[in-house]
Chains A and B, each alone.
Chain A
Amino acid sequence: MAGGGLVTHRPRSVEELAECLRSQTSPVQVGNGAHAVWCRDPRTEERLELSALSGVLEVRPADQIVVVQAGTPLEELRSVLAEHGLGIPDDGGSAEATVGGRVAMNLPHERLGQTGSWRDWVIGLQAVLADGTIFRSGSKVVKSVAGFDLHRMLVGSRGTLAVLTEVTLRVRPLASIPAAAIRPLPGSASSAMTVENLHGVRPTDLEELARFAAGRGGAVDEAGSIVWYRSLPGEEGPRFSSDWVVRSGDGDRNLSDLPAGFAPLLRKLKKALDPDGRLTPGALPL
């Protein structure tokens, strides 16, 4: 097959995307592959790409929110926000990273200890299920308890439960975004990297890990809770009962440690929302 073996669908509207999912039965990789290094090779032959669902729809500085389509490059969102003196604390990862991709992956970022993650910033979204159902969750205001927080649950779902099409984010003045407490590791985009979030680790354990990390060019963030270091696939760092690990270039072992009790519930959700397992198979260890 031409084009590297992948058939790419590039719907031009949410309705077209829904129709595409509805009318096909084959598994599909959601997204443009910008984060492929973090996920196991899904071995699917079709890709559902959202670059035509791109653009900022609303910026409301007085209300501290932005509504943006999922296919929008993160860089574009940040630059539009900056024009209004606003920002979002995640710097991105790669030039191809989209807003939908960052929300779907929810990878650690350099200000995680200080500003939280995408789960804290997503206040609403629109998404499409594998059967073509288009739905919304959340709202466009920063505080709402109307209905279940499906949008917060979908953050980090890696394209396996629904296809994100539009996201509403709470944003903040650029002035309030702290300087990154840690620097990116040199060459980290291409080299294997392990990130460990160690909130809740005893101080002595943190010291041990910090020493281990320092030997590999790592650093500890200001909140004292995140250690970044570089390691090769398969190399084991000190492990604690309370950490989670996201490994790039490490295929099957990525996200293999779900928090206690999560797997059965996520399987139930997967069964309800994508019963035929069509969406980005392999991205989550379920």
Chain B
Amino acid sequence: MQEQELVRGLTDLIGAEGVRAGSSISRAYDCDAYTVDRSKPTAVVLPSSTQQVQKVIRFCLRHALPYTPRGAGTGLSGGAMPALGGVVISTKRLTRILEIDIDNRRLKAESGVVNTHITQAVAAHGLHFAPDPSSQTVSTLGGNIAENSGGPHTLKYGVTAPHILGLTYVDTEGEVVELGSVTDGFPGPDPMALIIGGEGLLGVVTEAWVRLTPVPKAVETALAAFPTIRNATQAVAGILAAGVVPAALEMMDKNILGALNAAFGLTYPEGTAALLLVECDGEPGAPAREMAEVQAICQSEQCLSFVTAQNEDERKQLWTARKKGIGAMGRLAPSIVTHDGVIPPSKLPEMLEFVYEVAAEAGVGIANLFHAGDGNLHPCFYFDDRDPKQVEAVVHAGERIIRRCVELGGSVTGEHGVGIEKQDLLQLMFSPDDLAVQMRMKEALAPGTLCNPCKVIPNQKGCVEHQRRWRGVAW
């Protein structure tokens, strides 16, 4: 279909204010935060209701146009990269909070609502939306659902899935489907479990009922510095084995500290190899007791310092080490790539040794952030992306690291999703039969090849093999 005809058709359906096209639009939407690969759409639509989304999808079905849902475009695995020449269905005008039910601790929001805006809407009632991915001030509910987003508080509060009570989506046959009830805990099989984390392959989610969680009445936050990675990981194991379930347990290596020092002048005890940020929350009194246990465990692992926040300002300061660590790497090099892999927590010391080796061989800088309780590792390479050799080295190094995660019994992705980035690597974890059953499920719930095609499951019919590119330059 010609671009003009397509734009006219979409405009007739949802109005000019909901349709964008042209070369600068195509360029602006040709990738998400996974910038290694790009693909230009023909048009971008911004529907403002479920019914408009349905009209667009039915239009795409009639004209055999591939379509891709997109929230804020902060995804790191290419989940929102458009199909070449297809339509992007942006949720940026689906930003209404539809219903707030404080008594029953639930809220209904359109899928374009920003994660933190949900919390803001109910904060006055002492409630919040628990999933806290690092992108939360920008990423949308729909994106969080598609990727089953995690974040530092996953350890205690879970990923996005336990917080979704119901969904409305338009399926790949153009039907509006409303799922779920106001209660959770239905004992039988749960098809929502497939849509959450479905990476936008099963349709376009337009609305969701989310569970609201009481804001804990008391919080204790501390930062411990350790002389070796092994001491830090042993402290983590000790904390978990003691039955303490911290709200967050984040580890940063000495290279992140170097960046923090360069960017913010923050300093840590001499000889620090790893920092552990621990947060405990709950009813008044309980977090302080848990933190006392945590401190004892850290001290038994030779911690060089253990600093507890005495007030909210100090708490924010301690979190700076975690929240600003990656951005701080901008002081060290022009570009960074944050990888995402999972290993059994017991394998962290040997995994980190491997990561440092890989970075050294690739000749690029590396710093590590680790959701220590979950085993979710974020190695961050810093390098100069103006040098194509460094780019290639970083991409290959990332693959070596992810392969090792699987070899150690882990996963290719803990948070960022498979998308395009990890598509081929999925075969490290799953056999052809495993993947065939996934496709059977996918085809049962979402028949057709137009909805966010050629993502997640490798070797799908008609999909051109993903090429490694950086800003359009293939190698």
Q: Which residues of B contact A201 (CB under 8 A)?
A: 104, 183
Q: Is the CB of A141 within 8 A of B410?
A: yes
B187 touches A (CB below 8 Å): yes
Q: A137-B434, A244-B183 are in contact. Are A161 and B189 (CB under 8 A)?
A: yes
**Distance (Å) between the CB of B197 and the closest chain A CB?**
5
Q: Is the CB of A143 within 8 A of B414?
A: yes
Name the CB-closest residue of A to B241.
Answer: A173
Q: Which residues of B contact A146 (CB under 8 A)?
A: 411-413, 418, 422, 426, 429-430
One of A140, A143, A199 near B154 (C-beta < 8 A): A143
Q: Is the CB of A260 within 8 A of B441?
A: no
One of B198, B242, B342, B346 near A175 (C-beta < 8 A): B242
Q: Which residues of A contact B184 (CB under 8 A)?
A: 199-200
For A80-120 the 0/1 string (1 means CB < 8 A from B) is: 00000100000000000000000001111000100011011
Which one of B248-256, B264-272, B314-322, B371-379 is at the A interface?
B371-379
A72 touches B (CB below 8 Å): no
B159 touches A (CB below 8 Å): yes
Name the CB-closest residue of B to A259.
Answer: B181
One of A61, A142, A153, A243 near B241 (C-beta < 8 A): A61
Q: Which residues of B contact A85 (CB under 8 A)?
A: 241
Q: Is the CB of A143 within 8 A of B182?
A: no
A33 touches B (CB below 8 Å): no
Q: How many angstroms between the C-alpha atoms of A201 and B198 in the bound complex?
A: 29
For B175-188 the 0/1 string (1 means CB < 8 A from A) is: 00111111111111
Q: Is the CB of A117 within 8 A of B444?
A: no
Q: Is the CB of B187 within 8 A of A200?
A: no
Q: Which residues of A contact B177 (CB under 8 A)?
A: 261, 264-265
Q: A176-B243, A200-B105, A259-B179 are in contact. Are A135 and B434 (CB under 8 A)?
A: yes
Q: Is the CB of B185 within 8 A of A117?
A: yes
Please, how many residues of chain B have a CB less than 8 angstroms from a CB on the other chain? 79
Q: Is the CB of A200 within 8 A of B183?
A: yes
Q: A60-B344, A145-B417, A147-B429 are in contact. Are A153 and B193 (CB under 8 A)?
A: yes
Name the CB-closest residue of A to B409.
Answer: A140
Which one of A23-31, A47-55, A211-219, A269-277 is at the B interface?
A269-277
B398 touches A (CB below 8 Å): no
Q: Which residues of A contact B445 (CB under 8 A)?
A: 265, 268-269
Q: How many angstroms between the C-alpha atoms of A199 and B209 in the bound complex?
A: 14
Q: Is the CB of A199 within 8 A of B185?
A: yes
Interface size class of A (residues with CB under 8 A): 35 or more
Q: Is the CB of A63 within 8 A of B375?
A: yes
Q: Is the CB of B181 within 8 A of A62?
A: no
Q: Is the CB of A153 within 8 A of B188?
A: no
Q: How many angstroms between the C-alpha atoms of A136 and B430 in the bound complex?
A: 7
B138 touches A (CB below 8 Å): no
**Distance (Å) between the CB of A261 and the closest chain B CB?**
4
B147 touches A (CB below 8 Å): yes
B98 touches A (CB below 8 Å): no
Name the CB-closest residue of A to B179.
Answer: A261
Q: Which residues of A contact B244 (CB under 8 A)?
A: 176
Q: Is the CB of A266 within 8 A of B183?
A: no
Q: How many angstroms between the C-alpha atoms of A246 and B237 in the bound complex?
A: 39
5 of the cross-chain contacts (CB-CB < 8 Å) are A141-B410, A145-B411, A265-B179, A272-B440, A273-B437
What residues make up the interface of B, taking CB atoms closer than 8 Å to A? 103-106, 147-148, 150, 154, 158-159, 161-162, 165-166, 177-191, 193-194, 196-198, 237, 240-245, 342-346, 371, 374-376, 409-418, 422, 426, 429-431, 433-438, 440-445, 456-457
What residues make up the interface of A, taking CB atoms closer than 8 Å to B? 60-65, 85, 105-108, 112, 116-117, 119-120, 129, 133-137, 139-150, 152-158, 160-161, 172-176, 197-203, 241-244, 246, 255, 258-262, 264-266, 268-269, 271-273, 284
With A137-B437, A147-B429, A273-B437 known, 5 other A-B pairs at CB within 8 A are A152-B190, A152-B193, A156-B187, A175-B242, A273-B441
